[in-house]
Amino acid sequence: MISDTPVRDWERQVYDFLKSDIPEPAREAGRRVIADVLSAAVAGSGAAQHASVFEAADLPDGAASVLGTDRRLDPASAALLNVTAAITPEMEEGHDRGGHVGASIVAGAVGVAEASGTSGEQFLEACIRSYELCTRLEYAIFAMKARMNEALPWLVRDPHSTWTTVGPALTAAACMGLAAEAQRETFRTAANLAVVSMHDPYAEGAPSRNFTAGFSAQAGVSAATCAAAGLRGSPAAMKAVYDPFEEILKEGEFAALFDSLGEEWWITEAYHKPYPSCRYTHAPLDALRDSGFDGSPESVERIDVYTYRNGVDMAHTRPATMTAAKFSTPYVLARWVASGSVELAHFEPEALANEPVQALSERVHLHPDEAYEAAFPDAWGARVEVTTRDGTTVVGEREYPRGDHRDPLSVEAFTARTRALLAKGLDPEAVEPALDALQTADERPVTETVAALRGGEEH
């Protein structure tokens, strides 16, 4: 018979935390995360690489909206598409120690909140609590991934597809108004799930990266739905899956992660991207900007980038797809040299066909640097050296990228990026009402916010 009691102290702390109060700094950070993710989902809903699926996939109808479209599906199917859309522009928020947790939490559960008539404040609180738990789980799981990747380097490579069942599951359970017992079973079920991408996600995008994230959120919402109907989770899995973290992490570190729940609010350290590309490309881009270089692509002999080892993985040149370009530091730097900015439009096919930019990408070289590696993941830094054809060298360096909690985007900059994302997916006259809805999302029912984020005939 399955036990009703928590099997470990850390698990008991999870359930206690689900009833805790949330201070205003965490609430304000949560408001930003919600606006960040939902605007990214609107922008990504019309991406060409998955447009046919969003328009024509035979998914069950329901009361949950697919943002940026006129479709309404059952909440689990809406989670599949909304999370896929949210990560497609590569503009969704993230956390230095916890990956891109917000996309699955917010975009995964917003359909449940809409269908359940959830208030904006209730949705905000559910998202914040899930964020705190998921960042801690991912911190631990990241260490496990490192061990697994030594043997199987392609396994659990996609950062959107492992712990991210838990976030939408718990948020959905709270929005559905499930009792504490059902929320516990939701957690136990979701914490024993992992949707694993078995292919490097950096090039193709839609099948191996974006939709894997969507499938993970779909599984999380399904876990909450089944728990509401009486599905019991496995306390034995909490022991078998999570006890090993006591050895993988430093002594006492795993328990300490959950001891800090309700005292340390990791969501206040979320980052928000100023550029629509993988964050591993951002410190090199900021270092290039800080170098003061203002020449043309043709004037550059070479660009050398020194950074942490994970960042060196972004070294591929001449990307052929939108996603590949977003994960190519050479392309991102070459694009900035050519255009003086890096925008959403710079990853469309016409921009990728720019030969001077693609040619310059081949002259960008990435190198591992032990100092930046030692500072990672607390700081994601880089140094860039630009050598011109006349022999001049300029150098720029960043300890961490713009948008980090230590160098946050201003209110004006954050509003501008949100408006640009909404404009990518909505008709022009719908952008400002949608922006206002996001800025006041916790003050209105979720149904009202979602209505402002829908596309199609309503706009």
Partnered with residue 306 across adjacent β-strands are 367, 383
Rounded to whole angstroms, the Cα distance separating 422 from 373 reads 36
Query: Cis link prior to 377 (omega < 30° from 0)?
Result: yes
CATH number of the domain residue 152 falls in: 1.10.4100.10
Are residue 238 and residue 304 in the same domain, yes or no? no
Last residue of a domain, one of 361, 382, 398: 398
- Start-to-end Cα distance in the chain: 53
Are residue 87 and residue 157 in the same domain, yes or no? yes
Nearest to 165 by CA among 130, 238, 217, 126: 217
Last residue of a domain, one of 377, 398, 419: 398
Please give the pLDDT value at position 161: 57
Please give the pLDDT value at position 1: 40
> Does 420 fall in a domain?
no
Helix or strand holding residue 373 (H, E): helix 370-375
Are residue 260 and residue 289 in the same domain, yes or no? no
Are residue 64 and residue 167 in the same domain, yes or no? yes
Are residue 331 and residue 350 in the same domain, yes or no? yes
Helix or strand holding residue 186 (H, E): helix 180-190
Tell me the pLDDT tens digit for each residue of 130-152. 999 999 998 888 777 666 666 65
Please give the pLDDT value at position 255: 93
Please give the pLDDT value at position 154: 52
Are residue 81 and residue 182 in the same domain, yes or no? yes
Q: Kindly report the CA angle at 281 between 317 and 49, in degrees rounded to 5?
A: 65
Q: Which domain holds residue 249?
A: 9-271
State the 10-residue block means of pLDDT for the chain, 459 residues long.
69 93 98 98 93 94 97 98 95 88 96 98 98 92 71 55 85 97 95 78 71 92 97 91 89 94 97 96 98 96 96 94 93 98 96 97 98 93 97 97 97 97 96 98 98 74
Are residue 327 and residue 245 in the same domain, yes or no? no
Rounded to whole angstroms, the Cα distance separating 59 from 76 reads 10
Please give the pLDDT value at position 436: 98
Last residue of a domain, one of 242, 271, 300: 271
Are residue 258 and residue 389 in the same domain, yes or no? no
> Does 173 fall in a domain?
yes
Tell me the pLDDT tens digit for each residue of 282-299. 999 999 999 999 999 999
